[in-house]
Amino acid sequence: MPIANAFVEQNLQSDYRFNLVAGYCPSCHMFQLLEQPNPDQMFHESYPFFTGLSSTMRAHFKEMSEDHIPDAVSRNEESFIIEIGCNDGTFLQNVMDRGMNHLGVDPSKNVVEKAKEKGVNAIDEFYSFEVSKKISERYPSAIRIFASNVICHIPDLHDFLRGIKHNLALEGEFIFEEPYLLSMLKKISYDQLYDEHVYMFSLMSIQKLAEMHNLVLADAIPQETHGGSMRYVLKHADQSEKLSQRGLDLLNEEIKFGLDKLDSYQTFALNCENRKRELVALLKKLKDGNKVVGGYAATSKSTTVLNYCGIGKDLISFISDSTPEKIGTVAPGSYIPIISHEAMKTLKPDYLVLFAWNHEKEILNKEQILTKNGIKWIKFVPEVGFIHEQ
Ligand code: DWN
């Protein structure tokens, strides 16, 4: 498997590949990749993903800041907020607008520059215990530490949580959200598995991990983002906190589904194989019918789909995207050209594979004219078929 976000020109494409293999640990319930490229191969000065490109995510993070930072906290001048993996500052902008002391941390220099342009206070570092000590030399303890779709990127979770414990105020809350393991197994959304996603978390695995670090899982809140995510709230254990009723109910659902049973994962593996066969068969049928098939949104997830299914330019002629940095590049491993949405419209495709299926509502709303003009949208999660089946 190539690096998921290695959207670069054809002549710059590297032949680096790694084994994308996932495993499950029956004792700590962690679901994770067994092999992983070096972080600096994935996160660097030209990381091509920008949170703020999605209006859905902008609204989502505004709501997150309002839900978890009450006025009592925002009005208190002592209050200090940290966001790990702040990307282009989409979340922290809301904190800054409320006049709060804050700091963003992100290993990708280019996205941090975008955050700074917004006036957000941010540093380009890979958060760790060492970095947490540098932060505490200059800043007070944080009443809130936030992280979204980031913790799953961090190989050394133990060092990371030592840092969190060091920066989190005694009565503070560490709030993070990630694609949810149970959603992935139910939807067979295997494209959530790629190099950046070292872990796919569940309440079971987060509760175990927290106990290992004298932290406590106090609450868990399901989220619709990214095809089904879970937001976790961790606190210092000595705050005599225990898991909310909502969290207990979610844990029971995990046990009922069999998230602690190996055969649940073996069934997932078989389901992935079926989805692969079905998608390739559909695309081959369309090709035999001389249909023009393109892709919509050059997502990180698409790299897993295309390379796992062995789909190349013969089955999907191009992929369109709204990210300027991705246009003019090729998709990692399949080398399918990435073009702008405008250019895609001039090519008059008959079918579009929706790779950003987690943004279906926003995209289909945006592209109603395409649908009216007869374009058919292909989906592959939770099953292979057409959106708006005629
Ligand atoms: O976990 C991660 C999530 C948060 O974002 C990261 N590891 C990497 C990234 O994953 P992704 O690339 O799968 O993210 P999205 O948000 O599913 O897709 C973003 C891509 O979709 C961008 O390249 C932009 C494109 N897009 C578009 O072209 N038109 C997105 C929308 C909403 C659109 O309307």
Q: Which atom of ligand 1 is nearest to the CA of 326?
A: 23
User: 300 CB under 6 A from ligand 1?
Assistant: yes
Tokens found for residue 136: 């505490």
pLDDT of residue 390: 47
Indicate which atom in ligand 1 lies nearest the CA of residue 148: 4
Q: Whose CA is nearest to atom 5 of ligand 1?
A: 49
Q: Write down how long the chain is.
A: 390
pLDDT in tens, 300-341: 999 999 999 999 999 999 999 999 999 999 999 999 999 999
What is the number of other CB atoms lying within 10 angstroms of the CB of residue 260?
14
Q: 56: exposed, middle or buried (C-beta count within 10 Å: 0-12, 13-18, 19+)?
A: middle
Tell whether ligand 1 has an atom less than 6 A from the beta carbon of residue 193.
no
Ligand 1 in contact with 358 (CB < 6 A)? yes
In sequence order, the β-bridge partners of residue 319 are: 295, 338
Nearest CA to ligand 1 atom 17: 356
Kindly give the distance from the C-alpha atom of residue 361 to the centroid of ligand 1, in angstroms, as a whole number: 14
Nearest CA to ligand 1 atom 8: 300
Q: Are strands 229-236 and 215-223 parallel, antiparallel or unpaired?
A: antiparallel
Report the alpha-carbon distance of residue 253 to residue 258 in Å, rounded.
9
CA 188 / ligand 1 centre spacing (Å): 19
The helix/strand/coil state of 102 is strand
pLDDT (tens digit, 0 to 9) for every residue of the chain, 390 residues total? 999 999 999 898 889 999 999 999 999 999 999 999 998 999 888 899 999 999 999 999 999 999 999 999 999 999 999 999 999 999 999 999 999 999 999 999 999 999 999 999 999 999 999 999 999 999 999 999 999 999 999 999 999 999 999 999 999 999 999 999 999 999 999 999 999 999 999 999 999 999 999 999 999 999 999 999 999 999 999 766 789 999 999 999 999 999 999 999 999 999 999 999 999 999 999 999 999 999 999 999 999 999 999 999 999 999 999 999 999 999 999 999 999 999 999 999 999 999 999 999 999 999 999 999 999 999 999 999 999 754
Give nearest CA residue, ligand 1 atom 26: 297
Per DSSP, the three-state class of 232 is: strand
The CA distances from residue 136 to 195, 213, 237, 328, 371, in Å, are 31, 19, 21, 42, 53
Q: Which ligand 1 atom is nearest residue 191's CA?
A: 13
Instruction: Please give the single-letter amino acid code of residue 166.
Output: H
138 bridge partner residues? none
- Distance between CA atoms of residues 233 and 241, nearest Å: 11
Question: Rounded to an integer, what distance in angstroms lies between the CA atom of residue 299 and that of residue 149?
Answer: 14
- Reduced to 3 states (helix: H, G, I; strand: E, B; else coil), residue 222 is strand
Query: Nearest Cα to 189, choosing from 355, 367, 11?
Result: 355
Alpha-helical regions (H) of 104-156: 109-117, 129-138
DSSP-assigned letter for residue 330: B
Digit-coded pLDDT (tens) for 334-374:
999 999 999 999 999 999 999 999 999 999 999 999 999 99
Letter string b/e over residues 77-92, b meaning 16 or more CB atoms within 10 A of that residue's CB: eebbbbbbbbbbbbbb
Which atom of ligand 1 lies nearest, measured to the CA of 359? Answer: 32
The pTM score is 0.96
Q: What strand order describes the sheet that includes 229-236?
A: 122-123, 101-105, 80-84, 142-148, 168-179, 229-236, 215-223
Beta strands in the chain (DSSP E): 22-24, 31-33, 80-84, 101-105, 122-123, 142-148, 168-179, 199-200, 215-223, 229-236, 293-296, 319-321, 338-340, 351-354, 376-379, 385-387
What confidence score (pLDDT) does residue 239 get?
64
Cα atoms found within 13 Å of the Cα of residue 110, Cβ hemisphere only: 10
- What are the b/e assignments for 144-170, b being 16+ CB within 10 Å? bbbbbbbbbbbeebeebbbbbbebbbe
| Among 318, 322, 340, residue to substitute to test ligand 1 (most atoms within 8 Å of Cβ) | 322
- Which pLDDT belongs to residue 379? 98
301 lines ligand 1 (CB under 6 A): yes
Which ligand 1 atom is nearest residue 54's CA? 32
The response to whether residue 323 sits with its C-beta less than 6 Å from ligand 1 reads yes
CB distance 297 to ligand 1 below 6 Å: yes
Q: Whose CA is nearest to atom 14 of ligand 1?
A: 299
Q: Is 201 exposed, middle or buried (0-12, 13-18, 19+ CB in 10 A)?
A: buried
- Nearest ligand 1 atom, CA 321: 28
Q: How far is the CA of 49 from the centre of ligand 1 (A)?
A: 7
Q: Which of 53, 177, 192, 231 to mutate to test the pocket of ligand 1 (most atoms within 8 A of CB)?
A: 53
Token representation of residue 33 = 């990749």
- Spatial contact of 126 and 39, defined as CB atoms under 8 Å apart: yes
Longest dimension (CA), the chain: 66
Say if ligand 1 is within 6 A of residue 340 CB: no
Ligand 1 centroid to Cα of residue 308, in Å, is 19
Minimal-distance CA residue to ligand 1 atom 34: 363
Confirm if 146 and 68 have CB atoms less than 8 A apart: yes
Structure tokens at 39: 């972080």
Whether a cis peptide bond, with omega within 30° of 0, leads into 382 is: yes
Residue 241's pLDDT is 79
